[in-house]
Amino acid sequence: MKKPFNYLKNFCIFLLVSPFLAVWVPSILDGLLTDLTPAYRSSLVLSFQQLSITLLATLLFAASITLTLGYISILWSIIGKIIASVLEAIESVPAILIVLFSYAPVSGYLASHSEASSSVVSLMIFVFAATLTILPESIRGITLPLGELYYQKYSLSFRSYGFRRRKILAVLMGTDVMRHAFKRIAAGILLKILVLDCSFGFIIQLGFGSYGTPAHASPGALIAANRDALFQGGSPLLFWLPVLPLVMISIAFLLILTNSKENEI
């Protein structure tokens, strides 16, 4: 009974993240949203395309750093303590402040260069800043279960066979517990980036208008650009249309997180 339920759950998650698929396959949207102006329609598609690129790029970058630093933290405990202190200091600064500060120095460059190059630089800055804000929690997500496995469960028996710490950790990284941890971390990273990217896009659009950085499009900026649609005389659809897929995608990530946490119990 559990397997069909899991298939259903996975199917639901797939449906919830389907907006990403829809924006990359234009034929899916052909018959839909015909009442909207072409400019709004293309902004909507572009913002979700760029969001998917941002999520993927940050996930790959953040996950590779998380895995490396998480592994090193357990392998060499002194380095682990140093990394933990640095990450604790980073975690004490609000994420939105880190992103604002990361963009401030390059705002001049982004404004004076072509759209294509500033878009790439903007994405790189965001990936860097978002990774910085994500790392403390994601590395903890690796080191806690890995450390528990290493120090409390398997270390003695593995050591009695003469395995070295590096080999033991490599074996432990492939266990079911760690696989669940990776899944949970990936969903957590994606959710945080989604929230950060959209919140930041919204605030910048609110404060600086369309000339503000980041130069890469974001559904948050699109929502902010159409925020007055909620007032009398406006078309609320323009405001709610980007919100709906954002909520759907967030629910998908939250479902993955909930599932992983239940497995943890």
Partner 1 sequence: MFAILGTMGLVSLYFLAIGVPIEKYAEAGYSFLLLLTGSTDFSMAHPGYSASAIIMSGAGITLPLAIISLVILVLIALSCAAISTTTEYLEKKHGNKIIPKFLVFGKSISILLAAIPLFVGFWVFGESYGNNAPFLLIAFITITLGGLGWDASRFLLTDMHRQMGTTHTMVFSTLGLPLGRLFPLPGTFSGYLLSSSFPRFIPYLAGKVPAIIGGVTIAEIIFSFPGLGSTLLDALLVRNTDLLIASVFILLCVNAIVTFAVKTVLFFLYPRLYEKAI
Binding site for partner 1 (CB under 8 A): 89, 91-97, 100-101, 104-106, 108, 191, 195, 198-199, 202-203, 206-208, 220, 223-224, 227, 230-231, 243, 246-248, 250-251, 254-255, 257-258, 261, 264-265
164 or 228, CB closer to partner 1?
A: 228
Closer residue to partner 1 in complex, CB, 60/108:
108
Establish whether the linkage from the previous residue to 214 is cis, with ω within 30° of 0. yes
Report in angstroms how near the CB of residue 4 gets to partner 1 at its nearest.
Answer: 18
Task: Please say which residue, 42 or 94, places its beta carbon nearer to partner 1.
Answer: 94
Instruction: Quote the least distance from Cβ 236 to partner 1, whole Å.
Output: 10
**Cα–Cα separations (whole angstroms), residue 107 to 78, 121, 194, 195, 214:** 38, 10, 22, 22, 8
Residue 233's SS3 state is coil
Identity of the residue, 158 or 202, whose beta carbon is nearer to partner 1 in the bound complex = 202
List the one residue out of 3, 45, 57, 23 whose CA is nearest residue 197: 57
Of 68 and 94, CB closest to partner 1:
94
Give the shortest CB-191-to-partner 1 separation in angstroms: 7
Q: Helical H runs in 107-229?
A: 107-112, 115-148, 155-160, 165-173, 176-208, 219-225
Please, what's the b/e burial string for 68-77 (b: 16 or more CB within 10 A of its CB; e: otherwise)? Answer: ebbbebbbee
Per residue in 92-122, is it b (16+ CB within 10 Å) or e — as a string?
eeebeebbbebbeebbeebeeeeeeebbebb
In the complex, the smallest distance separating the C-beta of residue 57 from partner 1, rounded to whole angstroms, is 21
Cα distance between residue 147 and residue 51, in whole Å: 34
Of 50 and 169, nearer to partner 1 (C-beta) is: 50
Distance of alpha carbon 202 from the chain centroid: 17
DSSP one-letter code for 265: -
**Nearest approach, Cβ of residue 209 and partner 1 (Å):** 10
Give the shortest CB-136-to-partner 1 separation in angstroms: 8
